[in-house]
Structure 1
Amino acid sequence: MDKQTIDAGKSAAITSYILIVGVLIAMSMNAEPKNPFAAFHIRQSLGLSILFVSLGLIISNFDNIMISSSMWLFVSILWTYGIFTAIKGEMRPIPLLGVFFQKWLKS
């Protein structure tokens, strides 16, 4: 992908990592001229948001600080990885789940 395409979609890609609100804002930013770089990171961050909410719903049934903190640590590491790849202008999927997010959230 050329540098001009990456630079054009970088603001939407970075915005998408501001949890669920950022995903919605980035989707509207990328609505008319579809940018493949921004679309890649929007799918990654949407997958992270869905993962965060679903893990939160499952883990909320347990009353254990170890389980809760490990979930927060796991999601935080993946989120940090995603936002730094967007800032650097790279299209690397998030470890473990990024390839699945790209497949499941294509539309």
Structure 2
Amino acid sequence: MNTIEEGKTAAITSYILGIGVFIAMSMNAEDKNPYASFHIRQGLGITLTFISLGLIISNFDSMMISAPMWICVSVLWSYGIFSAIKGETRPIPLVGNLYQKWFKSIS
């Protein structure tokens, strides 16, 4: 329980798209809190997914294509940040386990 409380600030910060991941990484650089590391990997995955989908979808000028991307990323982000706030380490649906595997070197 103490590990969760110590890493909660970095975990929540990691979900601030873009810059929050890097801030959380620097906050977790010395102590390597496993709870914070879990959420940093999840936040990094969401950020990279958002950027990748945005680059692909920006080629199409259609709300029918871009709206579902925004909704999907918003749902994943909400799930992740509420999980961090509640002190849970549940992977994000569909892609969370992949993020943990792909970014396992980030701790």
Shorter-chain TM-score range: over 0.9
- Structure 1 distance, partners of 2:4, 2:70, is 30
The one-letter code sitting in structure 2 at the alignment partner of 1:93 is P
Runs of 4+ in 1 over 6 A off after TM superposition: none
Normalised TM-score (structure 2): 0.97
Give RMSD over aligned pairs. 0.4
Aligned to 1:41: 39
Using structure 1 for the length normalisation, give the TM-score: 0.97
Task: Give 3-state SS (helix, strand or coil) of 2:89's partner.
Answer: coil
User: What is the Cα deviation at residue 98 of structure 1?
Assistant: 0.1
- How far apart, CA to CA, are the structure 2 residues paired with 1:45 and 1:23? 6
Counterpart for residue 11 of structure 1? 9
Superposition deviation, residue 94 in structure 1: 0.1
Alignment of 1:76-95 (within 5 A): 76-95=74-93
Where do 5+ consecutive residues of structure 2 fail to align?
none
Aligned residues: 105
Gap regions ≥5 residues in structure 1: none
Q: Deviations along 1:69-107, whole A, 9 cap, x unmatched?
A: 110000000000000000000000000000000000011
Could you tell me the percent identity over the aligned residues? 70
